[in-house]
């Protein structure tokens, strides 16, 4: 029995495989410890090593087996199929390793730039670039890995050659069909590099106010103020205009409009605005004022400007100022609230004039 096993053609190959796999796992163990220690000062690389460590436990034994099977005699039965299957597994595992490496590096970069702080402009810039570029790179790696696996099959190469023979027509058709995909891919790269929008930016798009909640490889998710979600393709933000309230800073200047009678004195209103704004925690201390900006035949338009740290605080501050001014005028100057005037003397004169005109009309005979 022992002699039959020793004389089997596959004995030497399997013996080499049984030795190579534990050696590969030992290399993984030692190499992992060394890399963990070396990359500790660099959070991004350290995160990448941690993310790749479980997958590398599969890749290294497959590499060892590939070397063993390549060194085996070519006349062994089924050696071609074994080599092909091992190669497919290695390509799949290597693709998985590359995806995990990109994901781990991106996570390490994001850990160094937390965006849940008050002044998060730089962090949001890094977050947007990292996520979009990482997703694009992972998509390209997956496509490349799938293509490499297909190219290991002779039939796939023959199909590719036949497709190349009619590449003119097929290229035009494929280009037209894939236009939205490629436009979104290019738009994603433009957004990552030029950054017209970032994660957590406040936008006004299609008449809706909301924050950028997520940027994927094909679309942008906006969280509207009433918790709805607005989904827009990436190409929208390259081709169409929109408002970005936090492009360079989240600070905003809010405006409040109040209408009052011409008899309303302005100095008490200015004093009340100063009291309201300075007592409001939403005010950032930069600026406020009150001015008469327009007039009509019945009222004057009073505008109050005040600043806040972000759009949400600006909205709350505007509401407080508006409510405070209305309450002040109702309490102290109710006679100067906007109202429709009708002069009684003028109405009587018009009635007498109409009666005189009626009496002046000659009656028919």
Whether the Cβ atoms of residue 297 and residue 263 lie closer than 8 Å to each other: no
Tell me how far apart the alpha carbons of residues 88 and 79 are, in angstroms, rounded to a whole number.
14
The upper half-sphere exposure of residue 31, i.e. CA atoms within 13 Å in the direction of its Cβ, equals 13
pLDDT at 169: 44
The upper half-sphere exposure of residue 122, i.e. CA atoms within 13 Å in the direction of its Cβ, equals 4
Tell me how far apart the alpha carbons of residues 134 and 219 are, in angstroms, rounded to a whole number.
15
Among residues 297, 311, 189, 338, which one has the least CA distance to residue 249?
311
> 104: how many CB neighbours lie within 10 A of its CB?
21
Give the 3-state secondary structure of the chain: CHHHHHHCCCHHHHHHHHHHHHHHHHHHHHHHHHHHHHCCCCHHHHHHHHHHHHHHHHHHHHHHHHHHHHHCCCCCCCHHHHHHHHHHHHHHHHHHHHHHHHHHHHHHHHHCCCCCCCCCHHHHHHHHHHHHHHHHHHHHHHHHHHHHHHHCCHHHHHHHHHHHHCHHHHHHHHHHHCHHHHHHHHHHHHHHHHCCCCCCCEEEECCEEEEEEEECCCEEEEEECCCCEEEEECCHHHHCCCEECCCCCCCEEEEEEEEECCCCCHHHHHHHHHHHHHHCCCEEEEEEEEEEEEECCCCEEEEEEEEECCHHHHHHHHHHHHHHHHHHHHHHCHHHCCCCCCCHHHHHHHHHHHHHHHHHCCCCC
Tell me how far apart the alpha carbons of residues 328 and 156 are, in angstroms, rounded to a whole number.
80
Residue linked to tokens 């995990």: 100
Whether the Cβ atoms of residue 341 and residue 282 lie closer than 8 Å to each other: no
Tell me how far apart the alpha carbons of residues 260 and 85 are, in angstroms, rounded to a whole number.
84
**Could you tell me the domains of the chain?**
2-169 (no CATH), 252-336 (3.30.70.100)
pLDDT at 323: 95
Strands 229-233 and 243-244: unpaired
pLDDT at 310: 85
Per-residue pLDDT of the chain (365 residues; tens, 9 = 90+): 566 656 566 677 778 888 888 998 898 899 888 888 888 888 888 888 888 888 999 899 988 888 888 887 777 778 888 888 888 899 999 999 999 999 888 888 888 877 666 666 677 777 777 887 888 788 888 888 887 887 777 765 555 455 445 444 444 444 444 455 566 677 777 777 778 888 888 899 988 999 998 888 788 999 998 889 999 988 888 888 999 888 877 788 899 999 999 999 999 999 999 999 999 999 998 999 999 999 988 899 999 999 998 888 999 999 999 999 999 999 999 998 887 765 555 555 555 555 555 444 444 44
pTM for the full model?
0.53
pLDDT at 108: 86
């Amino acid at each position: 029995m022992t002699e039959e096993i020793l004389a089997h053609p596959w004995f030497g190959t399997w013996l080499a495989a049984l030795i190579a796999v534990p050696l590969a796992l030992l290399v993984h163990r030692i190499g992992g410890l060394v890399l963990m220690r070396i990359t500790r000062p660099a959070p991004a690389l350290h995160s990448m090593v941690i993310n790749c460590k479980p997958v590398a436990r599969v890749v290294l034994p497959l590499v060892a087996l590939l070397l063993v099977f390549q060194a085996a005699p070519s006349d062994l039965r089924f050696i071609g199929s074994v080599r092909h299957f091992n190669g497919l597994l290695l390509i799949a595992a290597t693709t998985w390793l590359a995806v995990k490496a990109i994901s781990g590096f991106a996570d390490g970069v994001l850990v160094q730039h937390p965006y849940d702080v008050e002044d998060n402009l730089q962090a949001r810039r890094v977050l947007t670039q990292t996520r979009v570029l990482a997703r694009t790179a992972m998509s390209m790696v997956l496509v490349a890995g799938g293509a490499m696996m297909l190219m290991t099959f002779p039939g796939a190469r023959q199909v590719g050659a036949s497709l190349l023979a009619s590449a003119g027509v097929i290229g035009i058709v494929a280009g037209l069909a894939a236009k939205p995909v490629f436009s979104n891919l290019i738009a994603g790269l433009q957004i990552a590099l030029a950054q017209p929008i970032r994660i957590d930016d406040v936008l006004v798009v299609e008449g809706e106010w909301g924050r950028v909640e997520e940027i994927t490889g094909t679309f942008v998710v906006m969280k509207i103020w009433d918790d709805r979600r607005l989904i827009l393709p990436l190409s929208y933000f390259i081709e169409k205009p929109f408002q970005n309230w936090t492009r360079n800073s989240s600070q905003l200047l809010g405006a409040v409009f109040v209408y009052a009678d011409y008899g309303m004195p302005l100095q008490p209103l200015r004093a009340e605005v100063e009291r309201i704004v300075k007592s409001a925690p939403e005010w950032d201390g930069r600026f406020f004022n009150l001015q008469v900006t327009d007039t009509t035949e019945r009222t004057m338009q009073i505008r109050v400007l005040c600043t806040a740290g972000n759009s949400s605080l600006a909205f709350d501050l505007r509401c407080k100022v508006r409510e405070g001014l209305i309450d002040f005028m109702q309490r102290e100057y109710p006679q100067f609230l906007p109202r429709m005037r009708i002069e009684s003397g003028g109405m009587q004169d018009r009635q007498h004039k109409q009666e005189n005109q009626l009496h002046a009309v000659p009656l028919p005979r």
